[in-house]
Structure 1
Amino acid sequence: MPKVETFDKELVLKKATKVFHDKGYNATSMQDLVDATTLNRSSIYNSFGNKLDLFLECLKSYQDTYLIKISKTLNKADNSLHAIELLFDFYLKEIIEDKDDKGCLITNCTSEMANQEASIINFLSSNQNSFIGFLEDLVSKGQEESMINLNRTPNEYALYLFSSIQGFRTAGILISNKKALQTIAKIIIQTLI
């Protein structure tokens, strides 16, 4: 008879995510995960697989959490351009509130592991393609609403916004000056008008 999990999986993922976020994937040991989750090694392996499998579950959980937060933020938008502005405001707030300057787990993962492991590459590529598609839809609607210029295609602007957001979030690890970050976001958005 298979063993029944007697722990809160969501809580374990939260604790493991914090360890991966603090140390990065490569610097995190199984002992770090055992210590943080208070599960023994066999429970981790039986419930999540190996360290990489657990990391992927943490990334997916982190992604789901952010999608919910972003959706709530964008529900306040009056139009597509306003939605893009709110997106940068959301990331600015995240940067300012990140007192440990850890940055985004997914952005950090891209820097650390994008060329190391096929399953990570697949996750990151899927995440990137979804986000670029979302941004492309916003730009397309913004152009239809005459809020965003027609100097570039929706796909070109989506790629520009995606790379700008990645750069913005990475810069936010070292730049904690709110006014400087607001200026960066304003310049990025002005390109669309």
Structure 2
Amino acid sequence: MPKVETFDKELVLKRATEVFHDKGFNATSMQDLVDATTLNRSSIYNSFGSKLDLFLECLKSYQDTYVLKVSEILQSADNSLHAIELLFELYLHDTLKDKDDKGCLITNCISEMANQENAIVTFLKSNQKSFIKLLEELVAKGQKESSINLSRTPNEYALYLFSSIQGFRTAGILISNKKDLQTIANTIIQTLI
């Protein structure tokens, strides 16, 4: 009869995510994951598959956390422009809270892994596509509400916002001054008004 593994999967994913976030995928060893999760190697392989499979689960869990945060923002916003402002406030808050200057796991993954593994590329492209679609819908709604200008199409502004958010998250690794980060966010948002 096969041995049944019993452990808190969410806790294991949280600990593994912390290791991948600290070291990146390539610098994380299986021993690092064993040490962090307190699972033995065979339990990790049996439960998650390869290191890459575990990393993908960590990325999805990290993504789910942000999807929830963004959903809460969208529900609390007065209008589309306000929702975009609140998105930047979320990223500003998370950047300032990140005392180790690790940055965003997904943004870091783009820099480290976007051209190395097909499964990672598929995940990143799917994440990008859904986020750009959300931004495009926000912009289109904002243009109908007259809170966002009509100088560009919703798609053009969505692409601009997506790349601006990626840049903002990357800049936040080196810039920890709240005033400077707020200036960057305000400048990006001003383009829409």
TM-score normalised to structure 2 length: 0.98
- Structure-2 separation of matches of 1:141 and 1:179: 29
Equivalence for 2:84? 84
The Cα offsets for residues 37-81 of structure 1, whole Å up to 9 and x where unpaired, read as 010000000000010000000000010011112212232100000
Query: Aligned letter for 1:105?
Result: L
Query: Aligned letter for 2:94?
Result: E
- Structure-2 separation of matches of 1:28 and 1:121: 19
Runs of at least 4 residues of structure 1 off by over 2 A?
Answer: 1-5
Equivalence for 1:125? 125
Indicate whether 1:104 and 2:104 are aligned.
Answer: yes
Question: Equivalences for 1:41-52 in 2 at 5 Å?
Answer: 41-52=41-52
Query: Aligned letter for 1:168?
Result: F
Equivalence for 2:75? 75
Bigger shift: residues 22-31 or 70-79: 70-79
- Structure-2 separation of matches of 1:158 and 1:150: 13
Equivalence for 1:26? 26
Structure 1 residue ranges without an equivalent (≥5): none
- Structure-2 separation of matches of 1:151 and 1:2: 63
- Structure-1 separation of matches of 2:67 and 2:2: 34
Equivalence for 2:188? 188
Q: CA RMSD in A?
A: 0.7
Question: Equivalences for 1:148-159 in 2 at 5 Å?
Answer: 148-159=148-159
Equivalence for 1:167? 167
Equivalence for 1:95? 95
Equivalence for 2:116? 116
TM-score normalised to structure 1 length: 0.98
Structure 2 residue ranges without an equivalent (≥5): none
Equivalence for 2:135? 135
- Structure-2 separation of matches of 1:73 and 1:178: 21
- Structure-1 separation of matches of 2:14 and 2:70: 19
- Structure-2 separation of matches of 1:35 and 1:90: 32
Query: Aligned letter for 1:5?
Result: E
